[in-house]
Structure 1
Amino acid sequence: MRIFSPNFEKEGRGIEKGEKNEYNLFYFFKLLKEKFWTIIKLNFLFIIFSIPIITIPAALGALNSLTMRIVKREHIFIWSDFISKFKENWKQSTVCFLILTTFMIFSLFCLNLYFSISQINKLFLILFFITLTIIFFLIMVSLYVYPLLTTISLSTKDIIKNSALLSVVCIKNSLLGLIVFIFFILNFVAFFPFALPIALIIGFSLHSFINSFITFKCIDKYIAIN
């Protein structure tokens, strides 16, 4: 039974038929070891292309595109491919970023509001936890947006819709991605400013690589193969 848009039929798998790459923990660390310096270089490119601030979404799109290709064992030319994907996906990357950010800011505002009111009326704790669940869901959806956006050709509406579907269908992957995301954020906040140099050297691209590794199996499974 298909749950995704027909547009999914436009692209096939990134790994050749018959190739047996097991996407397990051993393979993850093997790939991380092989591509460690490439990941660091990608982080520097991401930082450089994010300096104007407004270009962060496009830089995220380019970064995710290349880390996804690393996971798929495709050859990349770091500089030229990054620039190419930056230009190619900047508009859609920015639109998706603005949509997700708007929903997230509104949800965080509601979360803070409900928590404050719950100090007076405990019934508002129900709304607080519902909103917290929505925030976690938004994070899980966002984990699939850029990998999908840079993997196949879909409209922005289909990117968001299918990211939401994937986050539910692949709930184990989604929860793992959520845990990793929270781990990165909490450690950055807890160890700031000491964590800042790590973030500037490898933090952003490492998270992108881990997220690409987590989401690739799910995306690969549910993309229709010609």
Structure 2
Amino acid sequence: MKLFQLNYNRPGPGVRKDAPPQKPFIRFFAVLGRKFFDLIKLNLLFMIPVTAACVLAWLLTLVPQVADTYITYLPFVFVSPFVAGLTIVTRNYAREEHAFIFSDFKDCVKENWKAFLINGFVYYAVMFIIGFAVRYYSSMLGKSQVNFILMVVCISILVIFISAQYYVPVMIVTFDLNLKQIYTNSLMFAIIGLWRNLLLTAVFALIAYGFYLMQSTLLTIIIG
């Protein structure tokens, strides 16, 4: 009968205080496993503004004057404030701290929307300028070797800028700094951790390319 007379007040082994911390790689998957369904809820919440931006971008493609221009990507700039909510919840999960998905998401968007929106416009402007420059210099490669050097410089600036963006959102929601200080620190981290950031960028590019192939395959199956 001892099975039904368990002493729940007796201390168990629990987690040893002197237990070594898990390695980041192992801890990542441990947190991912615990928060998997919460992350699905968080992404569904984030998909609301993303879907709205996709609809607006699609409507802009129906306007002949702007269909093939960067203006069609402009609606995605207005998704930037909602990245604040996505960042605060995932940051707390990474710290293994509690987070209320909806309320923390909403409060962080309300507190940081301006900084994130400005960063969204900066990102849009940089991508537009460097994208235009890379296309221009690549079309002029046959005329001078200088154009090749300038194209490589533009691509290098783009890679460093994208790497800096890995740090900007977390800094905005975590520290009381202005955007100039945040950009300075983010660029420093981007350069210091250049190889790690390059690897991360390559992984993201492969994932994006994989989704592109999946989309193309699905469209071929549906249409053809």
TM-score, L = length of structure 1: 0.72
Residue 166 to residue 59, structure 1, CA distance change in 2 (3 Å): same
Q: Is the 8 A contact 2:81 2:114 kept in 1?
A: yes
Secondary structure of 2:174 counterpart: coil
Moved more, 39-48 or 169-178: 169-178
Separation in 2, partners of 1:58, 1:103: 18
Q: Is the 8 A contact 1:50 1:59 kept in 2?
A: no
Does 1:117 find its partner at 2:140?
yes
2:147 partner amino acid: F
Secondary structure of 1:60 counterpart: helix
In structure 1, what is the equivalent of residue 104 of structure 2?
81
Matched length: 179
Residue 64 to residue 21, structure 1, CA distance change in 2 (3 Å): farther
Between Structure 1 and Structure 2, whose CA radius of gyration is higher? 2
Secondary structure of 2:144 counterpart: coil
Structure 1 vs Structure 2 CA RMSD: 2.3
Separation in 2, partners of 1:97, 1:123: 32
In structure 1, what is the equivalent of residue 130 of structure 2?
107
Residue 117 to residue 157, structure 1, CA distance change in 2 (3 Å): same
In structure 1, what is the equivalent of residue 80 of structure 2?
57
Measured after TM superposition, the shift of residue 27 of structure 1 is 1.5
In structure 1, what is the equivalent of residue 177 of structure 2?
154
Does 1:46 find its partner at 2:46?
yes
Moved more, 147-156 or 117-126: 117-126
Alignment of 1:1-226 (within 5 A): 21-53=21-53, 55-192=78-215
Identity %: 27
1:47 partner amino acid: M
Separation in 2, partners of 1:47, 1:166: 29
Measured after TM superposition, the shift of residue 96 of structure 1 is 1.1
Measured after TM superposition, the shift of residue 67 of structure 1 is 0.7
Gaps of 5+ in 2: 1-17, 54-76, 220-224
